[in-house]
Structure 1
Amino acid sequence: MPATLSPPFLSPVPSGDGWLGYPLLLLFVPGTRPERFVTAVEAGVDAVIIDLEDAVATAEKAAARDAVEAGFPPMGRVFLRINPAGTPWPSDDLALAARLPLAGLVLPKAERCADIAAIGVVLGPDVPVVALIESALGLAEVRRIAAMSQVARLAFGSIDFDADIGSSHSREALLCARRGLAPAPDEIARAKRIVASLAAGGAVLAVDGAMVDAPVRLRAERVLARAGVPGHAVPAATARN
């Protein structure tokens, strides 16, 4: 099943640098199913995540790595979700990742900046990391994690988070997490300036010395919606060509 790491997509995801900043439609594929790798890439999603973590049983971890290396698709945007720090497998997972032409890496149960820095040591500083926040410790460290230069995106694993804090999987139980992931005050203030500056129309202008166009405005509107600013809802999804 396709899975999104963010609200519904708003516009076609561009090629080139910066595409990870857009809402994405992603497809997870178990690392033990190499016959599905190319099919997943051809499904028309924004990116495929080959999973070595939850989708792979403990006894199959090594076999899954071999399958991924042998069957890695020759095209498309492909991420690898490795196993989290503190388990027996991330070193071997990273060694595999270093041999693959990945679009990026997904780090589950991201909790420490040192774990992300260790990824950079093996893969270099230019491989984007999606940090998956799934625990109370990860939530407590989320702003430090987000500030890491290699972290291109955050994602929230609500089910594992609930299991970690021992709560029910409900809106009320996740309220603290949503607040922890809410935009910072300076981000909200800048988003308000961007939206206000474009309220009268115009395709491109500058705010705080930086160019602002339609995609930047959409992001600003999402920031205000996430922050609960009155009059701002998450923009409706638009169709893709």
Structure 2
Amino acid sequence: MVDFRPPVAPLFVPASRPDRFHKADESGADAIILDLEDAVAPTDKERARDAVIGHLAGLKSPVIVRINASGTPWHEGDLEALTGLKDVTIMLPKAERPEEITNAVLRIGRSVPVIALIETAVGLARLPDLLSVENVVMAAFGSVDFSLDLGCAHERMALLNARSEIVWRSRAARRAAPLDGVTTDLSNPEMTKDDVRHAAALGFGGKLAIHPKQVEQIRQAYRPDEQTVTWACNIVSKTASGEAIQVNGEMVDRPVMARARLILSRADIET
């Protein structure tokens, strides 16, 4: 498996707007998604690629490049642009076939992490096959395009089954917990916070952001509070042997120990 650290709050920025790269880099996002796809007009695709090539080395954040989907006029050009770039992750939109991913990796010419963006019913149906590709490190949910493909409302109840399936299939494939889709309403911070809480409750490992002000809202929702961190520290400190014991009247076995370590990991506390 390729080296990759799953982000919690990666931020989209149009690759055609290099004037925004620095702001995104300073936003607190744990990865930047330079978007060559939906955020870039067809006439600006080549200029966007040039911006990625020219500015990548100056960014301190981990970089994910969302390329154009397989079968589009810009897909091959995007892959060609990435052949000379190191330390990038690919996000493949409209992911539906494993061979699209393997062909992209072969075209780039080196092992590169790939995030499969699930935006269609076909992509969801073939998710087990997509996650079985060696370079695929995680899935992400393109909920807006997915609802468009199904002709359903972009609402929680309509998308609940799809979200849950992406989570449990990711776990079954031993891949990182997936990223939830974007919150498009930028006028209501409470909506973003509520969407993040919903995603976290379902088991998503993070959420895609489309504006810098959403980044901290996402990270805060995934950051354990002080009481939870104290509980986790207490559990880990008293279960070094790995044996099931009682801690403050609570029966602690392996799943509870694993949950405590996960909490400390999210709080950036080494165990």
Say which structure is richer in helix. 2
* Aligned residue identity for 1:145: L
Contact 1:37 1:72 in 2 (8 A): no
Whether the 8 Å CA contact 1:132–1:157 is kept in 2: the answer is yes
- In structure 2, stretches of 5+ residues that fail to align are 174-234, 244-253
How many percent of aligned residue pairs carry the same amino acid? 40
Question: What's the counterpart of residue 184 of structure 2?
Answer: none
Deviation of 1:18 (Å): 4.7
Q: Is the 8 A contact 2:94 2:117 kept in 1?
A: yes
CA displacement at 1:205 relative to structure 2:
4.6
Partners in 2 of 1:154 and 1:177 — Cα distance? 12
25, 30, 51: which one aligns with 1:67: 51
Equivalent residue in structure 2 for 1:84, among 51, 58, 69 = 69
Separation in structure 1 between the aligned mates of residue 125 and residue 261 of structure 2, nearest angstrom: 25
> Could you tell me how far 1:202 is from its partner in structure 2?
1.7
Task: Report the number of matched residues.
Answer: 195
2:108 alignment partner in structure 1: 123
**Which ranges in structure 1 are unaligned for 5 or more consecutive residues?**
1-15, 189-197, 207-212, 222-234
After superposing the two structures, state which structure 1 stretch, 67-76 or 85-94, moved more.
Answer: 67-76
Point out 4+ residue stretches in structure 1 off by more than 6 angstroms.
235-238
Deviation, structure 1 residue 237: 11
Alignment of 1:46-195 (within 5 A): 46-74=30-58, 75-124=60-109, 126-183=111-168, 187=172
Gap change, CA 1:47 and 1:136, over 3 Å in 2: same
SS in 1 for 2:239: coil
SS of the equivalent of 1:28 reads strand
Alignment-mate amino acid for residue 11 of structure 2: L
Q: Secondary structure at the match of 1:183?
A: helix
Report Cα offsets for 1:48-70 as digits up to 9, x if no partner: 11000010011111121122222
Deviation at residue 125 of structure 1 after TM alignment: 5.0
Q: CA RMSD in A?
A: 3.5
